[in-house]
Amino acid sequence: MLLIACPYCGEERPELEFRHAGEAHVARPDPIAEIDDAAFEAFFFLRDNPKGLIWERWRHVHGCGRFFNAVRDTVSDRFITTYKAGEVRREVVRDDEGGYQLKGEER
């Protein structure tokens, strides 16, 4: 089971308290009624599905109830970081040992 750090509760909690909520940073086109079919397809159906880092949303349904963002490695399922909804996308860099570090916070 994954352990997930909720950025609102400030605590690492078991996955059972959370719901996965799909790709993060997908902006709803505005005004949505005026987009063409290709933009509709991209917004509704096309998704990042990388073997490696994914930016995704989770919701702490059995905790504070809030949505937040996470960066996770889909091969090891390790979380690199979690951060609050609305914050800018966190960039990540690979370190010499093959792990990941937050950009600007490399050790």
Partner 1 sequence: MRNYSIFALAREALRGHRGWEQQWRSPEPKSRYDVIIIGGGGHGLGTAYYLAKEHGVRNIAVLEKGWLGGGNTGRNTTIIRSNYLYDESAALYDHAVKLWEGLAQELNYNVMYSPRGVMMLAHNVHDVQVFQRHIHANRLNGVDNEWLTPEEAKAYCPPLNIARNARYPVMGAALQRRGGTARHDAVAWGYARAASALGVDIIENCAVTGIRRGSNGAVEGVDTGRGFIAANKVGVVAAGHSSVLMEMAGVRMPLESYPLQALVSEPVKPVFPCVVMSNTVHAYISQSDKGELVIGAGTDQYTSYSQTGGLPVLTHTLDAICEMFPAFSRMRMLRSWGGIVDVTPDRSPILSKTPVAGLYVNCGWGTGGFKATPGSAHVFAHTIAQDAPHPINAPFNLERFRTGRLIDEAAAAAVAH
CB–CB of 43/29 below 8 Å?
Answer: yes
- Of residues 3-32, those binding partner 1 (CB under 8 A): 15-16, 19-20, 22
Peptide bond into 31 cis (omega under 30): yes
With contacts defined by CB under 8 A, how many residues of the chain interact with partner 1? 26
Does 34 help bind partner 1 (rule: CB under 8 A)? no
Residue 16 or 32 having the CB closest to partner 1: 16
Options 5-13, 75-83, 90-98, 99-107: segment touching partner 1 (CB under 8 A): 75-83
- For the bound state, the minimum distance from the C-beta of residue 71 to partner 1, rounded and expressed in Å, comes to 13
Q: How many CA atoms lie within 13 A of 54 on its CB side?
A: 21
Query: Residue 75: CA atoms inside 13 Å, Cβ hemisphere, count?
Result: 7
The residue from 7, 24, 56, 82 that contacts partner 1 (CB under 8 A) is 56
Residue 107 to residue 105: CA distance in whole angstroms: 6
Question: Per CB under 8 A, which region of 25-33, 69-77, 90-98, 99-107 contacts partner 1?
Answer: 69-77
**Among the residues of 36-81, which ranges form H helices?**
37-44
Q: Which is nearer to partner 1, 15 or 95 (CB)?
A: 15
